[in-house]
């Protein structure tokens, strides 16, 4: 207020026109300050996220976006975290953009063979090995990539739309913010393990066997480098913001927006991450991401994991929507504790919604450890 008064007095000495312009600037600044100021429910959500994040033993980022209001609350949400399979979102976004532009049909036939296989989670590999090849269409590959987090399905779709550079252009064109896209599953996962990709790594447990023989100092350097500067890094704020824009229909045409949101609601992976804490009457569409573990002989305790994420859209019974991104860049805490943390984030969002709407809270969900997820 003192600054505004000072500006107004200065303006009065420079003529009526100048004073009017200055007054408009003051009013605009005051309005922006009011908009930027947190509401009571936002402060409570901010405090809840701070408590959740501070108590968690690991590199953690959380971002919540109130979709309709466009307001963001976060804990460490402006730092880069490994995305892992969360990055499949941007492949599907780029592909559906091409559908909107008439450059891709989801009915277009595709064949997936041995040379297309990747590593880690790829259920489609069983079809390839049993039949010699998978035959289907790109719509089915997209469904497998999102709902089953199939790495090979995603990689084949990625190549069809123009590779990593096409996805990066989509991210930049839509001004999605701090979201990187890596070189593809095979190259990235090999580099994290201190290896260079060979196609025979796609079969059985060959990749694991070779990775186990990598010298500890090589693995440690590669693992630490990835966490410090993830080639697929993104900030929780950027991801939650992108999901909010998707929900508002700002990124795709109505038909392709519905396709994308339906896929997220049908995701099968991570049933006890964010989804495990969803209160009765609420729904979620989400996408998980899970990175490699590294158990260093020189480090006591459990293996560390680089990337354990879940991001999505929570919908309240009244239709209010919240974009949520919870990203663990590095941790060694047991998986049940990570899930409990995610459940508490969901409970904090439900509390925020209750505070904002003046409605009673839904009953807290009991975690798999028998703990309450009440904020």
The DSSP result for 49-66, as a single string, is HHHHHHHSSEEEEEEEEE
pLDDT band at 135 (very low <50, low <70, confident <90, very high): very high
> What CATH number is given for 40-357 in this structure?
3.40.710.10
**Average pLDDT, integer, range 312-317:** 98
pLDDT exceeds 60 at position 176: yes
Residues 210-229, mean pLDDT to the nearest whole number: 97
**Could you read off the pLDDT of 305-314 as tens digits, one per residue?**
999 999 999 9
Q: Name the 3-class secondary structure at 257.
A: helix
Mean pLDDT, to the nearest integer, of 315-331?
Answer: 98
Torsion on CA atoms 219, 222, 227, 232, rounded to nearest 10: -130
Asked if the model's pLDDT at residue 160 lies above 60, the reply is yes
Q: Measured between alpha carbons, how far is 301 from 313 in angstroms, rounded to an integer? A: 35
Domain ranges of the chain: 40-357
Given a contact cutoff of 8 angstroms between Cβ atoms, the answer to whether 98 and 104 are in contact is: yes
Nearby residues of 125 by Cβ (< 8 Å), 6 or more positions away: 117, 152, 202
Mean pLDDT of 183-203: 97
110: number of CA atoms within 13 Å, CB side? Answer: 25
pTM beyond 0.85, yes or no: yes
Overall average pLDDT of the 63-72 stretch: 96
DSSP per-residue letters across 91-159: HHHHHHHHHHTTS--TT-EEEE-GGG--SSS-THHHHHHHHSSEEEEHHHHHHHHHHS--HHHHHHHHH
Predicted local confidence at residue 2, as pLDDT: 36
Model confidence at 293, pLDDT cuts 50, 70, 90, reads very high
pLDDT band at 34 (very low <50, low <70, confident <90, very high): very low
Half-sphere exposure of 130 (CA within 13 A, CB side): 7
Task: Give the pLDDT of residue 299.
Answer: 72
Q: Supply the pLDDT for residue 363.
A: 60
What's the whole-number mean pLDDT along residues 222-236? 97
pLDDT confidence of residue 265: 98
pLDDT at 195: 98
Q: Quote the pLDDT of residue 26.
A: 63
pLDDT tens-digit map of 351-374: 999 998 876 666 655 444 444 343
Question: What pLDDT score was predicted for residue 365?
Answer: 53
Q: How far is CA 93 from CA 99, 208, 264, in A?
A: 10, 31, 12
pLDDT of residue 235 exceeding 60, the answer is: yes
User: Looking at residue 302, what is its pLDDT?
Assistant: 83
Long-range pairs of 168-174 with CB within 8 A, sequence gap ≥ 24: 169/94, 170/90, 170/93, 170/94, 170/97, 171/90, 174/93, 174/242, 174/245, 174/251
Per-residue pLDDT, 246: 99
Question: Percent of the chain beyond pLDDT 90?
Answer: 82
First-to-last C-alpha distance (Å) of the chain: 36
- pLDDT, residue 220, reads 96
The whole-chain average pLDDT of the chain stands at: 90
pLDDT at residue 122 is higher than 90: yes
CB 252 within 8 A of CB 246: yes
Q: Which residues have C-beta within 8 Å of that of residue 13, sequence separation ≥ 6?
A: none
For range 205-234, the mean pLDDT: 97
The alpha carbon torsion through 355, 360, 362, 364 (nearest 10 deg) reads 70
Query: So what's the pLDDT on residue 130?
Result: 96
Residue position matching structure tokens 């309450």: 372
Containing 329, the helix (H) or strand (E) segment is: strand 321-331
pLDDT, position 19: 61
Mean pLDDT of 39-53: 96
Q: How confident is the model at residue 15 (pLDDT cuts 50, 70, 90)?
A: very low
Give the residue with greater pLDDT, 34 vs 40.
40
Rounded to an integer, the average pLDDT of 38-64 is 96
Which phi and psi (to 5°) does residue 208 adopt?
Answer: -60, -40
């Amino acid at each position: 207020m003192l600054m505004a008064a000072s500006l107004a007095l200065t303006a009065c000495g420079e003529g009526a026109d100048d004073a009017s312009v200055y007054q408009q600037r003051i009013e605009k600044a005051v309005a922006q300050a009011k908009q930027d100021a947190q509401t009571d429910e936002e402060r409570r959500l901010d405090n809840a996220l701070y408590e959740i994040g501070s108590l968690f033993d690991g590199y953690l980022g959380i971002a919540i976006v109130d979709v309709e209001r466009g307001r963001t609350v976060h804990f460490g949400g402006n730092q880069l975290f490994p995305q892992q399979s969360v990055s499949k979102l941007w492949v599907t976004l780029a592909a559906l953009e091409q559908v909107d532009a008439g450059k891709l049909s989801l009915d277009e036939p595709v064949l997936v063979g041995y040379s297309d296989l990747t590593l880690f989670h790829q259920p489609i590999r069983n079809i390839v090995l049993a039949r010699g090849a998978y035959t289907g269409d790109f719509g089915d590959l997209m469904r497998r990539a999102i709902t089953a987090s199939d790495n090979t399905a995603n990689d084949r779709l990625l190549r069809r739309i123009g590779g990593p550079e096409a996805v990066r252009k989509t991210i930049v064109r839509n001004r999605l913010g701090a979201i990187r896209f890596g070189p593809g599953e095979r190259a990235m996962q090999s580099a994290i393990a201190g290896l260079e990709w060979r196609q025979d790594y796609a079969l059985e447990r060959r990749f694991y066997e070779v990775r186990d023989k990598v010298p500890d100092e090589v693995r440690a350097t590669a693992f630490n480098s990835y966490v410090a500067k993830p080639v697929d890094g993104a900030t929780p704020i950027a991801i939650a913001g992108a999901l909010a824009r998707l929900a508002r229909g700002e990124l795709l045409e109505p038909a392709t927006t519905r396709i994308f949101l339906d896929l997220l609601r049908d995701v099968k992976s991570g049933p006890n991450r964010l989804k495990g804490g969803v209160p009765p009457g609420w729904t979620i569409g989400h996408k998980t991401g899970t990175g490699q573990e590294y158990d260093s002989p020189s480090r006591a305790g459990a293996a560390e994991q680089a990337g354990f994420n879940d991001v999505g859209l929570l919908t309240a019974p009244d239709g209010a929507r919240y974009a949520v991104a919870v990203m663990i860049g590095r941790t060694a805490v047991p998986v049940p504790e990570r899930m409990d943390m995610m459940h508490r984030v969901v409970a904090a969002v439900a509390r925020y919604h209750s505070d904002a709407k003046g409605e009673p809270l839904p009953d807290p969900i009991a975690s798999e450890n028998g703990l309450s997820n009440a904020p």
